[in-house]
Amino acid sequence: MESSNLKKWIEPALQALPRKRFIVIGIIFIILSLVIAFPLFNRWIYPLDYEDNILKSAKQTNTDPFLIMAIIRVETKFDPEKQSHVGAQGLMQLMIPTVDYAIKKGNFSPSMRQYIKVPAVNIQVGSWYLSDLTRQFKGNKVAVIAAYNAGPARVQKWLKDGTWDGTRQNVQKIPYGETRHYVQRVTFFYEKYKSLYMDLVKD
């Protein structure tokens, strides 16, 4: 009797289940939805702004655009109004001595100084500075990132006296905790932005 009642409940439930082909179609639909949604979700987590200025300045200064993006993300999260307690200015948080150095060595107009908070100007000068650091450190991006934070003279000293070998693997040997953390964060965002926005960079 109990077996008969159980059968009455189970059979309709089994018949209500979708056929195998509908299950397969449903699984495929879910997978495709995830494939489409995942990159969009990642771009929402890692947003990008001022991309036209970044790409233009990167091309003009022969600088890696994803490095510019990562620096801006760590420095200000693309907020040009972010305040610095040490006097750094604009999206890329440029110090006044750095701006003066860029004006002198990069042949920028002195008027750049008064417009340094303007995003387009800030990105242009900051990109040139990254290009100059890249030249100084012979293309070593990790050393460039460290120098952007701690200053090129300090990083050159660490490399010269063997304190640090300039690699990401040995970043823990950088004497300054702030710079160690900075290198780790920028390299993390560099990889994220490169994977998400590679389509913006045309050969």
- Residue pair 127/57 in contact by the 8 Å Cβ criterion: yes
Beta-carbon contacts of 124 under 8 Å, excluding residues fewer than 6 positions away, are 53, 57, 60, 61
SS3 state at 94: strand
Distances (CA, A) of 49 to 158, 159, 160: 34, 34, 38
Nearest 10 degrees: CA dihedral of 83, 85, 89, 94? -140
Q: Residue 94 — φ and ψ, nearest 5°?
A: -85, 130
**Helices and strands in the chain: count of H runs, count of E runs:** 9, 0
Q: Residues 150-202: pLDDT tens digits?
A: 999 999 999 999 999 999 999 999 999 999 999 999 999 999 999 999 999 87
Tell me the β-bridge partners of 96: none
CA 154 vs. chain centroid, Å, equals: 24
Is 120 a residue whose pLDDT tops 70?
yes
pLDDT at 183: 98
C-alpha to C-alpha distance for 64 and 62, rounded to whole angstroms? 7
Q: Residues 95-111: pLDDT tens digits?
A: 999 999 999 999 999 99
Q: Residue 70 — φ and ψ, nearest 5°?
A: -65, -40
> Which among 115, 76, 70, 109 has a CA at the least distance from the CA of 93?
76
Q: Residue 89 — φ and ψ, nearest 5°?
A: -130, 145
DSSP string, 27-63: HHHHHHHHHHHHHHHHHHHS----HHHHHHHHHHHT-
Q: Residues 45-92: pLDDT tens digits?
A: 888 999 999 999 999 999 999 999 999 999 999 999 998 888 999 999
Task: Give the predicted TM-score (pTM) of the model.
Answer: 0.80
State the first-to-last Cα distance of the chain, in angstroms, to the nearest integer.
76
The amino acid occupying position 143 is A
Burial 170-180 (b: 16+ CB within 10 A, else e): ebeebeeeebb
- Residue pair 128/92 in contact by the 8 Å Cβ criterion: no
